[in-house]
Copies of this chain bind each other. A is one copy, B any other.
Amino acid sequence: MKIFNKVAIVGTGLIGGSLGLAIKSNKLASKVVGVSRHKKSLLEARKKGAINEGSITLNIIRGADLLILATPVNTIISLTPQISKMISKDCIVMDVGSSKEEIVSRLSRVFPNYVGAHPLAGSEKRGIAFANKELFKGSLCIVTPDNKTKKSALLKIKKLWSGVGAKTMETTPSTHDKIMAFVSHLPHAVSFALMNSVPEVFLRFAASGLKDTTRISASEPQLWADIFMSNYKNILTALGLLEGNLKQIKIAIKTRNRAALIKILEKSKTKREKLK
């Protein structure tokens, strides 16, 4: 079911590359082209079949009816003026960044057919090497229209995501960022802090508990620094709540209050068991 004619993906990494693969294998577009700063990444993207053509310059995006921005937020912002001169006004533009309020307000001013999206898929691994066409299957993609978003563009973007196997949900950019601060950004912050707290000589005694809780602490530092910077208000709120919960545990331990501790632990067990 063809939705687009020419799709251009700027940033052929894990998400961009997987989208290319999924779009091509589901025949959602006639042609997919890719842009990356790294020739090697483009070569691999072509070899894997994620793109039909690749280029290290933006020229290749000309004529696209869907432009996917899948680079880190800072790169998106710095490329915007150049990109806006190259694409037609009808071209739908979508980014796939992890925080939305800042980027949506910037891009919806520049691109008349802009739709923000955030696929809740991916991992601590990055790069085209880990891209796969099934990455979005059964996952959730949050789309974040604002009052400037065109219904027609939104509809096509939702079709795209269901075409690659994802369910979609709509929230405002601001609600999205509040939610993500808790379900994604806070777990990352906690995981980074936890990893940095464990003395290196003890690492060989680690069992699955530490491994699971710190898996995402191997995530890309630059990418996550940008996410933390861009969603800082919500993350600081979430960190404040976490500190309060840690303090409760600490006080219960310090005062030898077993009953209070059990109550805290029961609350988290009940909650966790709702997470399937």
Residues of A in contact with B (beta carbons under 8 Å apart): 120-123, 139-140, 142, 179-180, 182-184, 186-200, 202-203, 205-222, 224-226, 228-229, 232, 235-236, 238-239, 241-246, 248-250, 252-254, 256, 258, 261-262, 264-269, 271-275
Contact = CB atoms under 8 A, between A and B. Distances in A.
Contacts of A244: 197
Contacts of A238: 197
B205 A245 contact: no
Nearest to A232: B253
A244 B218 CA distance: 20
Contact of A214 (B142, B218, B266, B275): B275
A211 B275 contact: yes
A205 B142 contact: yes
10 contacts: A184-B207, A186-B194, A187-B194, A187-B209, A191-B268, A192-B265, A197-B245, A212-B212, A219-B269, A242-B246
Nearest to A231: B253
B191 A225 contact: no
A113 B242 CA distance: 45
A274 B224 contact: no
Contacts of A253: 228-229, 232, 235-236, 239
Given A239-B250, A269-B217, A183 B198 contact: yes
Count this chain's copies in the assembly: 2
Contacts of A252: 228
Contacts of A140: 205, 207
Given A194-B242, A197-B182, A217 B268 contact: yes
Given A193-B245, A197-B186, A202 B179 contact: yes
Contact of A183 (B193, B202, B245): B202
Contacts of A274: 200, 203
Contacts of A232: 253-254, 256
A216 B205 contact: no
Given A254-B236, A261-B225, A193 B273 contact: no
Contact of A249 (B182, B183, B193): B193
Contacts of A120: 205, 207
A199 B179 CA distance: 9
Contacts of A228: 249, 252-253, 261
Given A190-B246, A221-B266, 14 more contacts: A120-B205, A179-B205, A180-B205, A184-B207, A187-B194, A192-B264, A200-B271, A203-B271, A212-B212, A212-B216, A215-B272, A218-B273, A239-B246, A243-B243
